[in-house]
Each structure stands twice: as C-alpha cells, then as structure tokens.
Amino acid sequence: MADTGGAGNGASGSDTAAGASSEAMRSFVIHRCRLAVESADGGGVDPAAGGGQEMGDTREASVVVRDGVIERVVLLPDERFDPQSAIPGADVIDATNKLLLPGFFNQHTHSSEMWSRGLIKPAPLELWLCSLIDDSPVHPDAIYDSALLCAAETLLSGGTSIMDHCSMILDMPDQTIDACVRAHRDIGIRAFIAPLMGDLDIMDCMPQEPLRDPVSTPPATPYRCTPDPERRRLFAAALERAAAAHHKPHEGVSIVAGPTGIQLCSDEFFLECKRISEKFGLPRHIHLLETAAQKQLAWDKYGCSAGTHLRAHP
C-alpha cells in the first residue's frame, strides 16, 4: 500500500491472498484507502460515481476482505456503509492517504544468487556464470536462508507472488527443492518454484567461435556437446518427486518445470521436462536467449533460431 501523503504507517494490501498463511486467511476491512476505479468501458474513473474522467484518478473506498478474499469494494462517501459492522469482530485498517494496489508479481528471480550479490565483478554473462557457480550455496540450509530473504524482499517491495528459478545442489536435488519450498511456505508468499536444471556442462554454453552473424555465416566447425544422461535422470526424477510432494497451487505453492535454457539443455531433457509437466499439470519456465553468444549458439546447434526450434518441437 503506497503512501500518498499524511503521517503514520499503512498495512500492506493486495487483491489476492498471499500464500496460504493464517494471515492471508484473515477477515478485515481496509477503510478509506485511495483506489483506482475503472468505468464500464475501461476508461478511467466512472463519472457516474462522481469521480473524474482521467486515467490515474482515484476514489476513496473501503475494501471488505473475508477469509482472504475480497468480498466487496465500497466507494465513499456511502452513508449506508459502517466499516465496524461490515464483518463483525474483524479488524478495521485505517488506510487514509494510502493507495491500495494489486500485489505485484516477481516473475523471474534466482533466490540462491542472494549469496553472490555484489561479489562478482561485471563480465560477459557466460564468464559471470562460471564465477556464480563457484559462489553458489552448497548446503540446503543456505538455500533456505536465501529463499527466505528473497521472498521477504519481494513482500517488502509490494510483491505477493514470486517465480523462483532456484539453482540446484547437484548431489542434493531433493533437499534443495524441499528447502526452497519450506522457505516460501514459512514466509507466506505465493510461490512458483522452478528447479533450475540441465543436462549439459557449463562449458557447453560458451561460444565455440568468435561472434559473427550466425544467420548468414555458418560455423567453421559443427557444434558439439555431450549431454549427461545420468544428470538428466537425476534431475528428472527429482522434479517428478517434487511435483508429487509439493505442487499444491490451492495452498500457494506451484512446482514449475524449469529447464535452464537451450544453452544447457539437450532436446531429450526438454522432452523429459515436457512429459513431467503434462503428467502433473505443471507450468513451464525457461531462459530463451540472453546474449548474442546464445543467439549464435542456437543457430550453430539447430541451424535456426531458438524460438523456431522450440516451436517446431513443442
């Protein structure tokens, strides 16, 4: 809830319950907040309700939340509305001079990178990732702590949902996912947890030739990489177990099939993630392309763009 003037601290508000915590299931009334109200045609504040007609105008309103769900919005002034009796016994939050906004969605983050913040000098992404691997958490407790901090920062920034593309500890994938899930549950944020997985080595994502226009100039030598079938089996099995144990969207936690991207995944691994996604109804999340080197890698690897290849193999 953003402060639009006046003194005092306001409580955070959202158009949806955050996670499945007991706080999210509370009943309360947010009274006298500022709220943007669209007219029936979507053109700003409804002039029939006595407001202005410009986009960005707001109205004073009260929002009644019962069991974590918005029950009604009352535009003020309304002599018939009594916030104290709207839900008998429920808290009434004085939101005078506060702007009520929908909860924001942190649509992509890597909580495990909290440990590396400010430690790695700027470098091309592929080289930066090598340093990141050296500084990545090596124990599930560190995964838990970093996920907890990442979720807390999201909440304090007005976010109520997070997509956590969380790095895996290679020899402890189940413990890594469990720790990440536990952290997001403990703090009460709605979490989409995408274990960051791939079956290729980090060196396979490095440019094998100087950068060029890959569309018009073919590689001097064919692209080669060696997928690791044991790593593919290990990660796929961990994703399947995580989906069975933790994928509970109605409770605020969704497991997501999250292959790293074309630079660190074979087609076989993509197909395995697709199979598990369809089996459990999981969303999917991926880095498509982030650098010119990855664009060149896609053309060298597939003979076409990454998007064209993935669309041809849905």
Enter the tokens of residue 19: 């996670």
The answer to whether 235 touches 195, Cβ cutoff 8 Å, is yes
Contact 254, 191 (CB under 8 A): yes
More confident residue, 56 or 92: 92
**Quick one: tokens of 251?**
């409770």
**Closest alpha carbon to 103 in 160, 63, 155, 157:** 160
Say which residue the tokens 């709220």 belong to: 35
Query: Please, is 84 exposed, middle or buried when counting C-beta atoms within 10 Å of its C-beta (0-12, 13-18, 19+)?
Result: exposed
Q: What is the pLDDT of residues 157-202, one digit of tens each?
A: 999 999 999 999 989 999 999 999 999 999 999 999 999 999 999 8
- pLDDT tens digits, residue range 223-237? 889 999 999 999 999
First to last CA, the chain: 41
pLDDT tens-place string over residues 262-284: 999 999 999 999 999 999 999 99
Q: What are phi and psi of 256, to 5 degrees?
A: -125, 135
Distance CA 241, CA 158 (A): 32
